[in-house]
Structure 1
Amino acid sequence: MRTPPTPDDPEAWTAYLAEGNAKQARKRVSIDLIIRDHSGRVLVVNPSYKPDWDLPGGMVESNESPEDAGQREVHEELGLHLTPGRLLVVEWVPPHGPWDDQLAFILDGGELSIEQSAELRPHDDELSELAMMDPADARPLLRPRLLPRYDAALAALADGRARYLSDGHPIH
C-alpha cells in the first residue's frame, strides 16, 4: 500500500483528493418551495411533463446550491424573483424506478404580495397551470411520495422546527 501524499506536495495532494472525490457517491438533489399568499394558501403547480401536481421547484444542477436552484426554478417557471428562506425539510429518498437516491429539500418561499399573487402565471412550457390553495385542499393533488415531505414542511412552518425524513419517515 502506497503512502498517501501530504499537503506539502500540493500537486500530488490535489490529485489524491480528486481520486477520492471521483469514487464518492453522487446524489441527485431536488428543491421545492412552500410559497404562500396573504391568506395562507399555498402555491401548487401542474407540471406538463408528469402526472400529479407539485410544489414549485425542481432539480439542482451540478455545483448549484439548493437555494440558488430554488431561486432559478421559480424565476424560470413563474417569473418570480424571490430569495428562498429557511430550511423546512430535508428528506433522503431511496432509489426508485430508474432513479438513484436523492436528497430532497423544501425551503420557505415566503409570502407573495397581493400584486404578485394577482400576476401569477406559468412562464414556460414545463407548467400547464398553477393554483393558490388551502394547504389541506392541495394534498389530494400532490403525488403520494411528496405528501410526508409536504406535511412535514407545513408543520415546520407552524412550529419553526426543521424536519429530517428518511424515505418519508420522520427521524427524531
Structure 2
Amino acid sequence: MNGVEPLYRRDPDAWNRYLAEGNASQPRKRVGADALVFDQDGRILLVDPNYKPDWDLPGGMVEANEPPPAAVARELVEELGLSLRVDTLRVLCLDWVSPHGPWDDSLMFVFDAGTLGPDQVAALRIGDHELSAFEFCSTGEAQSRLRPRMWLRVRAALDAREARQIAYLQDGQPFTS
C-alpha cells in the first residue's frame, strides 16, 4: 500500500455512499419463484392465470429484497390459501431466461413443495383475482397445458426431484460448460 488508509477505514459513511452509488447503477433482474406441488396420485398442481393464455405452476414474481422461497410460500397462500413452511421447500431448478419480447433477462426458480394430503387438497381455494382455475394434472396433461419454455423447466425440475439434484438451465436447456 502507499501509506494512505483505505476509504472504508477512514470514512465508513463515504464508503457506504460509494457502494450505494454502485448498487444503484448495476442491472436488476426479475426473479420468479414457482412450486411443484403434487397430490397423492403424483399429479402436478397447475393454475390457470386469467392474464395469459397458458396454464402455469403456482407461484409468481419475487418482490424487492424477498428471498425466493419466501416469495413462493407467499404466492401459494395468496393464490390458493395453501400455507407451507418455507424451510420445507427445496430448490429443484434455476433457469436463466434471456431477454425476450418486452422483458429483460430473469432468473426463474422452481421449488419442490411436496405432496399434499387429501385434507390440504380439499382446502385449496382460489384466493387471487389473477387465477380462474386450478387442477391437478398428469405429466402428459401438464405438458400439453404449459407453454413450451415452461414445460422444459418443469421437466428439468421433475428430473432433478427424482435425482435429488438441482438443475441449472439457460432458456430451458441444461447448461453445459
Q: What TM-score do you get using the length of structure 2 for normalisation?
A: 0.91
C-alpha separation between the residues in 2 aligned to 1:51 and 1:149? 18
| Equivalent residue, structure 2, for 1:142 | 146
- The answer on whether the counterparts of 1:121 and 1:129 sit within 8 Å (CA) in structure 2 is no
Deviation at 1:35, TM superposition (A): 0.4
Deviation at 1:23, TM superposition (A): 1.6
Deviation at 1:171, TM superposition (A): 1.3
C-alpha separation between the residues in 2 aligned to 1:101 and 1:90? 13
Deviation at 1:5, TM superposition (A): 2.3
Deviation at 1:19, TM superposition (A): 1.1
| Equivalent residue, structure 2, for 1:70 | 72
Question: How is 1:126-141 mapped onto 2 (pairs within 5 angstroms)?
Answer: 126-141=130-145
Question: How is 1:60-99 mapped onto 2 (pairs within 5 angstroms)?
Answer: 60-84=62-86, 85-99=89-103
Deviation at 1:38, TM superposition (A): 1.2
C-alpha separation between the residues in 2 aligned to 1:82 and 1:124? 17
Kindly tell me the number of residue pairs found equivalent between the two proteins: 170
The 10-residue stretch of structure 1 (116-125 or 49-58) with the greater mean CA deviation from structure 2: 116-125
C-alpha separation between the residues in 2 aligned to 1:86 and 1:45? 20
Determine which of 97, 106, 109 is the counterpart of 1:105: 109
- The answer on whether the counterparts of 1:79 and 1:123 sit within 8 Å (CA) in structure 2 is yes
- The answer on whether the counterparts of 1:5 and 1:16 sit within 8 Å (CA) in structure 2 is no
Deviations 1:37-81 (A, max 9, x none): 111111000001111000000000111110111011010010010
| Equivalent residue, structure 2, for 1:21 | 23
For 1:90, the aligned partner's letter is: L
- The answer on whether the counterparts of 1:4 and 1:16 sit within 8 Å (CA) in structure 2 is no
| Equivalent residue, structure 1, for 2:55 | 53
For 2:111, the aligned partner's letter is: L
C-alpha separation between the residues in 2 aligned to 1:55 and 1:7? 48
C-alpha separation between the residues in 2 aligned to 1:26 and 1:4? 29
Structure 1 unmatched ranges of 5 or more: none
| Equivalent residue, structure 1, for 2:12 | 10
Question: How is 1:157-172 mapped onto 2 (pairs within 5 angstroms)?
Answer: 157-172=161-176
RMSD: 1.4
Structure 2 unmatched ranges of 5 or more: none
Runs of 4+ in 1 over 2 A off after TM superposition: 3-8
C-alpha separation between the residues in 2 aligned to 1:122 and 1:165? 31
Deviation at 1:6, TM superposition (A): 2.2
C-alpha separation between the residues in 2 aligned to 1:120 and 1:160? 27
- The answer on whether the counterparts of 1:48 and 1:126 sit within 8 Å (CA) in structure 2 is yes
